[in-house]
């Protein structure tokens, strides 16, 4: 049982033997992420005081307007991971292509690649709503000593060795897994240290919350519409409560603590869904499953999908196991 209130550094050292590959590189990589997260947290908390709110003036590869904080967070994580010379490649939702990192001797000897959404929900910054960072870590599949290729990034989610998110809210938390359960650490801003505040986080099997943007109801598949009606029915255990923040990290974090389901389905406006498989769905699915929940695209396990492109999109259903299974029952009535 993890010791509550121990620091993230102490936790990493004590649990290093649980990592699939305990050479120390993965530990250093997690340490780099926590450092970058502190920098981003500092900037996010200055929103409104300095000129970091609003559009940057460009669009990213997704065709979405980049926020100033998107750019800042992206550059911060890339710079921190690159300077530490721990990873051999980085892929970000904000970049068109992956970044190759050669190492100090141009030897390409590092073993890990990182995929990330540097600032999920950044459109909420202007209205002071919680946002987050999502990250995913894989071991490279190409030979050590050679530059990374797209193959290193296009791995199914079940090959992840670690994943996590940072939520910048009323308190700042780093929640992550290395395949041995999920633990949450809260930042003490006065000391600059992360402390274990939420050991062994688990989803309740069933909850009372459903999180979906019901404003798009008319565009949803019939299976999703039927499930929403099920959630709203007057029954002994229902209706459920509708709670949707519009920042996936915040919605899923709340549902993991209180019990619930998060849904971002495909629609007539976005036939393949809107969320990115590699940067959002896979890492969150890995965390959700490690916390005893379930994640799918409505028909199949998210972590078993073989990615075909860096910015591939996917429908996403995740949360309390029985709630996701019930949603899948409704989806199965309209098999693809």
So where are the chain's domains?
A: 8-198, 209-332
119 has binding-site annotation: yes
Output the six-digit token pair for 182.
Answer: 């999920």
280 has binding-site annotation: yes
Q: Is 333 exposed, middle or buried (0-12, 13-18, 19+ CB in 10 A)?
A: exposed
Which has the closest alpha carbon to 192: 34, 76, 75? 34
pLDDT for 48 beyond 60: no
Question: pLDDT class for 323, splitting at 50, 70, 90?
Answer: very high
70 has binding-site annotation: no
54 has binding-site annotation: no
pLDDT for 54 beyond 50: no
pLDDT for 228 beyond 50: yes
250 has binding-site annotation: no
What local confidence, expressed as pLDDT, does residue 50 receive?
47
Tell me the CATH number of domain 209-332, given options 3.40.50.2300, 3.40.190.80, 3.40.50.620, 3.40.50.450.
Answer: 3.40.190.80
Dist. CA 142–CA 138, nearest whole Å:
12
Q: Return the CATH fold of 8-198.
A: Fructose-1,6-Bisphosphatase; Chain A, domain 1 (3.30.540)
Diameter of the chain measured on Cα atoms: 66
Asked if residues 303 and 289 have their Cβ atoms less than 8 Å apart, the reply is yes
Question: pLDDT class for 56, splitting at 50, 70, 90?
Answer: very low
274 has binding-site annotation: yes
pLDDT for 226 beyond 70: yes
Asked if residues 252 and 262 have their Cβ atoms less than 8 Å apart, the reply is yes
What local confidence, expressed as pLDDT, does residue 213 receive?
96
pLDDT for 208 beyond 80: yes
122 has binding-site annotation: yes
Asked if residues 186 and 197 have their Cβ atoms less than 8 Å apart, the reply is yes
Question: pLDDT class for 139, splitting at 50, 70, 90?
Answer: very high
What local confidence, expressed as pLDDT, does residue 69 receive?
83
Residue 319 zone, left/alpha/beta (φ > 0; ψ -120 to 50; rest): left
211 has binding-site annotation: no
Mean pLDDT, all residues of the chain? 90
pLDDT for 109 beyond 90: no
Q: How many CB atoms lie within 10 A of CB 226?
A: 17
pLDDT for 86 beyond 50: yes
234 has binding-site annotation: no
Question: pLDDT class for 52, splitting at 50, 70, 90?
Answer: very low
With H, G, I as helix, E, B as strand and everything else as coil, classify residue 295: strand
120 has binding-site annotation: yes
Question: pLDDT class for 35, splitting at 50, 70, 90?
Answer: very high
172: Cβ–Cβ under 8 A, 6 or more apart, which residues?
Answer: 37, 41, 166, 186, 187, 189
Q: How many CB atoms lie within 10 A of CB 9?
A: 14
Question: pLDDT class for 23, splitting at 50, 70, 90?
Answer: low
Asked if residues 166 and 203 have their Cβ atoms less than 8 Å apart, the reply is no
Summarize the confidence of residues 84-104 as an average pLDDT.
Answer: 90
What local confidence, expressed as pLDDT, does residue 21 receive?
60
Give percent of the chain with pLDDT exceeding 70. Answer: 91
Residue 323 zone, left/alpha/beta (φ > 0; ψ -120 to 50; rest): alpha
What local confidence, expressed as pLDDT, does residue 143 receive?
94
244 has binding-site annotation: yes
């Amino acid at each position: 049982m993890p010791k509550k209130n121990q620091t993230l550094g102490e936790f990493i050292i004590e649990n290093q033997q649980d990592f699939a590959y305990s050479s120390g590189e993965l530990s250093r990589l997690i340490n780099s992420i926590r450092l970058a997260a502190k920098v981003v947290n500092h900037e996010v908390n200055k929103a409104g005081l300095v000129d970091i709110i609003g559009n940057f003036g460009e669009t990213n590869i997704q065709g979405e307007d980049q926020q100033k904080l998107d750019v800042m967070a992206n550059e911060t994580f890339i710079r921190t991971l690159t300077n530490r010379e721990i990873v051999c490649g980085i892929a970000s939702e904000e970049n068109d292509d992956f970044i190759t990192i050669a190492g100090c001797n141009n030897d390409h000897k590092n073993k890990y690649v990182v995929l990330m959404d540097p600032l999920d929900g950044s459109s909420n910054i202007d209205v002071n709503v919680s946002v987050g960072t999502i990250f995913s870590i894989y071991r490279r599949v190409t030979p050590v000593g050679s530059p990374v290729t797209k193959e290193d990034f296009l791995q199914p989610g079940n090959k992840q060795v670690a994943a996590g998110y940072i939520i910048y809210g009323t308190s700042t938390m780093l929640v992550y897994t290395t395949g041995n359960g999920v633990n949450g650490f809260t930042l003490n801003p006065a000391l600059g240290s992360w402390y274990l505040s939420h050991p062994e986080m688990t989803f309740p099997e069933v909850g009372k919350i459903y999180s979906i943007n019901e404003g798009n109801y008319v565009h949803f598949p019939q299976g999703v519409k039927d499930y929403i009606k099920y959630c709203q029915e007057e029954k002994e255990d229902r209706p459920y409560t509708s709670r949707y923040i519009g920042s996936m990290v915040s919605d899923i974090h709340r549902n993991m603590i209180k019990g619930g389901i998060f849904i971002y389905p495909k629609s007539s406006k976005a036939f393949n869904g809107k969320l990115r498989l590699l940067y959002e769905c896979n890492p969150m699915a890995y965390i959700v499953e490690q916390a005893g929940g379930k994640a799918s695209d409505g028909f199949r396990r998210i972590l078993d999908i073989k990615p075909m492109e860096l910015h591939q999109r996917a429908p996403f259903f995740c949360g309390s196991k029985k709630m996701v299974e019930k949603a899948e029952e409704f989806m199965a009535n309209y098999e693809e």
